[in-house]
């Protein structure tokens, strides 16, 4: 409970969705996430898509956050085409 409070207390944006996902998913996200950005990345779709434990685990094991960040960097560095 202490870790839960410390993780989410200062982030008002995540307070509502965190309440709507399971305790198991919250614990998995807290222990896996290395940054606030990663935490938010997994909490939001877990809540919106109602991820099961297994689905969330698959998303995290496939390094979805890292792949999304790499994709964003590549998109920003590519020239704009009209």
Q: Is residue 31 part of a domain?
A: yes
Q: Is residue 9 part of a domain?
A: yes
For residue 81, the model assigns a pLDDT of 47
Residue 59, domain extent: 2-77
Q: Is residue 72 part of a domain?
A: yes
> Which residue carries 């207390």 as its tokens?
9
Q: How many Å apart are CA 3 and CA 81, to the nearest integer?
A: 46
14 has a pLDDT exceeding 80: no
Count structural domains, the chain: 1
Q: Is residue 82 part of a domain?
A: no
Give the closest residue to 4 by CA, choosing from 32, 36, 25, 26.
Answer: 26
Q: Is residue 18 part of a domain?
A: yes
Q: How many Å apart are CA 76 and CA 65, to the nearest integer?
A: 17
Query: pLDDT tens digits for 35-58?
Result: 889 988 999 899 999 999 999 999
19 has a pLDDT exceeding 90: no
| % of the chain surpassing 90 pLDDT | 40
Degrees to nearest 5, angle at CA 24 with 33 and 13: 55
Please tell me the pTM assigned to this model: 0.75
Q: Is residue 63 part of a domain?
A: yes
């Amino acid at each position: 409970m202490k870790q839960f409070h410390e993780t989410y207390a200062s982030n008002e944006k995540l307070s509502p969705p965190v309440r709507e996902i399971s305790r198991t998913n919250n614990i998995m996200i807290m222990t896996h996430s290395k940054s606030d950005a990663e935490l938010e990345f997994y909490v939001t779709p877990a809540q919106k898509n109602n991820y099961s434990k297994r689905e969330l685990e698959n998303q995290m094991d496939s390094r979805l956050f890292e792949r999304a960040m790499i994709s964003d960097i590549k998109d920003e560095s590519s020239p704009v085409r009209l």
